[in-house]
Amino acid sequence: MRVLGIETSCDETGVAVYDTEQGLLSHALYSQVKLHADYGGVVPELASRDHVRKLLPLIQQALTDANTKPSELDGIAYTAGPGLVGALLVGASVGRSLAFGWDLPAIGVHHMEGHLLAPMLEETRPEMPFLALLVSGGHTQLVQVNAVGSYKLLGESVDDAAGEAFDKTAKLLDLEYPGGPRLAAMAEAGRADRYKFPRPMTDKPGLNFSFSGLKTAAANAIAEEKAQCDSPEGLSDQVKADIARAFQDAVVDTLVIKCRRALKETGLKRLVVAGGVSANTRLREALADTMHKQGGQVYYPRAEFCTDNGAMIAFAGAYRLAAGEQTDSQAAVRPRWPMTELAEPGKG
């Protein structure tokens, strides 16, 4: 089965062609980072309009790169949620229209299931069941994965997601958008003993997360340093790096502690980490060390598939289309969509 995948849930337009026998044939991605940089964050209306401009050319590029004609496709997959409603509607409308015009089945894919299955695009794939840490700008979740579509939510953030806290703290440090990766890069020059921030909710039972208090601790440290700063240029690069280091260490420690706790409770030995924050080097090192000590293994998608992309949507869509699933002709989207509402392919 050969499937065209379309991803437009937020600020990245992704298109890919995936073949269940030959693997990933092509993927094309356009990021709107420069478009939103002046605003310090994603502007939903601008995101939607840019998806409209970029999507069709990217579809043509992906098909050309895959040496695939529309008549050689077996289905179309598009992100139906969760995400920004306007952005989702662009991908859903185009996906449904092409499916109608080319007489193909189409499937609306859950964005987080796409992230969850992204490591399946790699040569070394995790066997199920496994524990999944989904960590991005919009989500921080621990999920027990028994099979595709069989998910048990073990814990999630009760306020800011980890990636969101990274971006907000970066903004407090006057780092350019997107701030999360810039904060992580700055943290590499930071001293580990300068500041000590809390590891939220690690002293309480359970697997939920909270990062708003950590963000507040960083904000207080920044305010105190600014109050004592005599330089008209503001905080020195070293002070910023030290705060960034303390913040990143606190996030990484919190995620690792919760993962260890979830692995112990479930008895699982395989951990999948996906979502934009899964590209963080320090997090990968800490989780690799944890899984090595526990005699387990950790799996990631390649760096380019950690953030939003069409390849993960094409893969997830192909899996469900092959089981006989398809979505009706309405271009319906769900900005909020709990992943636990999904069913195993062919059983929904």
Residue 308 labelled as part of a binding site: yes
Residue 149 labelled as part of a binding site: no
Residue 263 labelled as part of a binding site: no
Please state, in angstroms and as integers, the Cα–Cα distance from residue 22 to each residue in 1, 26, 222, 314, following that order: 9, 11, 52, 13
Residues in contact with 6: Cβ distance below 8 Å, sequence separation at least 6, in sequence order? 14, 15, 55, 59, 76, 77, 78, 79, 91, 94, 95, 310, 313
Residue 139: closest CA among 324, 247, 9: 9
Residue 136 labelled as part of a binding site: yes
Residue 143 labelled as part of a binding site: no
Residue 51 labelled as part of a binding site: no
Residue 134 labelled as part of a binding site: yes
DSSP conformational letter for 25:
E
Helices 212-227 and 162-172: crossing angle in degrees, nearest 10, is 10
Residue 280 labelled as part of a binding site: yes
Residue 144, helix vs strand vs coil: strand
Residue 251 labelled as part of a binding site: no
155 within 8 A of 208, measured Cβ to Cβ: yes
Residue 137 labelled as part of a binding site: yes
Residue 275 labelled as part of a binding site: no
Q: What share of the chain is helix, strand, coil (3-state, %, to 5)?
A: 45, 20, 35
Binding residues for substrate: 134-138, 167, 180, 280
Feature table: binding site for Fe cation: 111, 115, 308
Q: Which residues are annotated as a binding site?
A: 111, 115, 134-138, 167, 180, 280, 308
